[in-house]
């Protein structure tokens, strides 16, 4: 080993604080703890048997040789065609030149700052926003500017104020990062009227929008809201999708939809990251989409998650003390709970662990460090019984802190 390894690491990695949350999250893996902390789909939702047949068919055909070879950086042509076709049905005016495959959405969140960010550049995100996005942007030296959400997503009045203030200082963000459908962590969906306001503001201030939407197809009730990309269709919007929450996160397949010029730069950036996303897994995903089983599968998992969400919502209603509120998402995997103002979720965390239940601290999703009295609860992973029991345990820990 070298004498001072720390000096060998670059400035960027040295600047990354050891995540306290990562240490704390290790506790949530204890088998005696009911964890609402992860963002994991239910393992019961994985279509193992169908996938086994598809894999066997691939190995029985000519495709086996292509599946085991390097692929293009843009991704499997057939998979891209199938995805483009699905999106055209949702009003997106795109072709395969506008869509590239990534090693799931997290890679897209890493490639975006890789092509757009010089250290010190700014990005606007929601308060709160997906931690994996904020962290990836920060890794490339981006400075995050937070805009509060209300029940309809990012507040457009505050967004406009923020952009005006930045302009007064001669600044412009590289993009606005938004998660419009069943937001992680807040569980909120942005209605079309708010989406239009955000587009109008972005156009006025000449700023790109990144629409990150891994939960979009997991709608249990209510009407789907048009994609921001489809409402714009001028190239102002970059959209991210993934199979992680609707098929299997272990596939590590996602995609980016954007103007061709942007795709071109992202492809260049991806080449130095991994050359290509696994051609083998892309072939499986393409066959899965082709068979039509996918649509049935979506219905099955939506029913499963609706039931789990309802179970958690009624348990919260029954057991939580007055002064605690939570969001009621129409889809996705999470809901967001707000404690009375005087309570600190971080202090509560260890008490909850003593009661053998875990959650994610809400403040990790706030780039300005606010949100100390909030937490994210995942309802998709635990069984029905464990969801009820976990909420009871959490309510017990919270009640001890009620003034």
Closest to ligand PLP by CB, 333 or 388: 333
Question: Cα(214)–Cα(209) distance, rounded to whole angstroms?
Answer: 16
Q: Which one among 39, 41, 75, 128 touches ligand PLP, defined by CB under 6 A?
A: 39
Note the Cα 372 to chain centre separation in Å: 21
Kindly state the smallest distance separating residue 6's Cβ from ligand PLP, in Å: 30
Question: Cα(331)–Cα(329) distance, rounded to whole angstroms?
Answer: 5
Kindly state the smallest distance separating residue 309's Cβ from ligand PLP, in Å: 16
Q: Which one among 28, 98, 105, 239 touches ligand PLP, defined by CB under 6 A?
A: 105
Closest to ligand PLP by CB, 225 or 242: 242
Residues paired with 212 in a beta bridge: 240
Q: Residue count at the site for ligand PLP (CB under 6 A)?
A: 14
Closest to ligand PLP by CB, 103 or 363: 103
Q: Which one among 173, 249, 371, 390 touches ligand PLP, defined by CB under 6 A?
A: 249
Classified as helix, coil or strand, 360 is strand
Beta strand extents in 157-279 (DSSP E only): 175-178, 208-212, 237-242, 254-257
- Which stretch, 99-107, 152-160, 285-293, 302-310, contacts ligand PLP (CB under 6 A)? 99-107
Q: Which one among 28, 106, 178, 236 touches ligand PLP, defined by CB under 6 A?
A: 106
Question: Cα(344)–Cα(327) distance, rounded to whole angstroms?
Answer: 19
Q: Which one among 24, 179, 210, 335 touches ligand PLP, defined by CB under 6 A?
A: 179
Binding status of residue 189 toward ligand PLP by CB under 6 A: no
Query: 323-382: which residues touch ligand PLP (CB under 6 A)?
Result: none
Closest to ligand PLP by CB, 244 or 387: 244
1 Cβ contact list (under 8 Å, min separation 6) = none
Per-residue x/- marks for ligand PLP, 112-151, CB under 6 A? ------------------x-x-------------------
Closest to ligand PLP by CB, 242 or 363: 242
65 Cβ contact list (under 8 Å, min separation 6) = none
**DSSP letter at 42?**
P
Q: Which one among 145, 212, 217, 232 touches ligand PLP, defined by CB under 6 A?
A: 212
**DSSP letter at 247?**
T
Question: Cα(401)–Cα(95) distance, rounded to whole angstroms?
Answer: 55
Q: Which one among 153, 214, 331, 371 touches ligand PLP, defined by CB under 6 A?
A: 214
Q: Helices in 184-292 by DSSP H: which ranges?
A: 192-204, 228-232, 260-274, 279-291
392 Cβ contact list (under 8 Å, min separation 6) = 315, 319
Question: Cα(239)–Cα(90) distance, rounded to whole angstroms?
Answer: 13
Positions that interact with ligand PLP (CB under 6 A): 39, 104-106, 130, 132, 179, 184, 212, 214, 242, 244, 249, 254
């Amino acid at each position: 080993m070298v004498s001072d390894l720390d000096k060998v690491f670059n400035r960027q990695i040295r600047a990354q604080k050891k995540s306290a949350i990562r240490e704390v999250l290790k506790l949530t893996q204890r088998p005696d703890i009911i964890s609402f902390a992860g963002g994991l789909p239910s393992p019961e939702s994985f279509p193992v048997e169908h996938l086994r047949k598809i894999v066997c068919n691939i190995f029985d055909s000519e495709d086996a040789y292509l599946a085991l070879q390097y692929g293009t950086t843009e991704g499997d042509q057939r998979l891209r065609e199938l995805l483009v076709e699905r999106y055209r049905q949702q009003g997106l005016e795109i072709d395969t030149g506008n869509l590239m495959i990534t090693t799931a959405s997290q890679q897209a969140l890493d490639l975006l700052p890789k092509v757009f960010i010089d250290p010190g550049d700014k990005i606007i995100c929601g308060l709160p926003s997906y931690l994996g996005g904020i962290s990836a942007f920060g890794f490339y030296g981006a400075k995050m500017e937070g805009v509060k959400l209300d029940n309809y997503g990012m507040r457009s009045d505050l967004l406009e104020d923020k952009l005006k203030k930045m302009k007064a200082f001669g600044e412009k963000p590289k993009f606005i990062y938004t998660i419009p459908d069943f937001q992680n962590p807040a569980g909120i969906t942005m209605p079309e009227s708010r989406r239009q306001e955000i587009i109008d503001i972005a156009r006025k201030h000449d700023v790109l929008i990144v629409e990150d939407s891994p939960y979009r197809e997991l709608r249990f009730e209510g009407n789907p809201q048009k994609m921001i990309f489809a409402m714009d269709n001028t190239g102002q919007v970059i959209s991210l999708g993934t199979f992680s929450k609707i098929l299997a996160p272990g596939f590590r397949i996602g995609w980016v939809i954007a103007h061709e010029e942007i795709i071109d730069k992202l492809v260049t950036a991806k080449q130095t990251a991994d050359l290509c996303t696994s051609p083998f897994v892309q072939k499986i995903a393409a066959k899965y989409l082709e068979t039509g089983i996918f649509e049935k599968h979506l219905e099955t998992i939506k029913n499963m998650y609706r039931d789990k969400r309802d179970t958690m919502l009624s348990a919260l209603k029954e057991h939580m003390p007055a002064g605690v509120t939570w969001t009621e998402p129409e889809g996705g995997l999470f809901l967001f709970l707000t404690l009375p103002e005087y309570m600190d979720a971080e202090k509560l965390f260890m008490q909850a662990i003593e009661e053998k239940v875990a959650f994610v601290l809400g403040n990790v999703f706030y780039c300005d460090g606010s949100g100390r009295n909030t937490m994210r609860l995942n309802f998709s992973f635990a069984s029905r019984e464990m969801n009820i029991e976990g909420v009871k345990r959490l309510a017990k820990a919270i009640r001890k802190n009620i003034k």
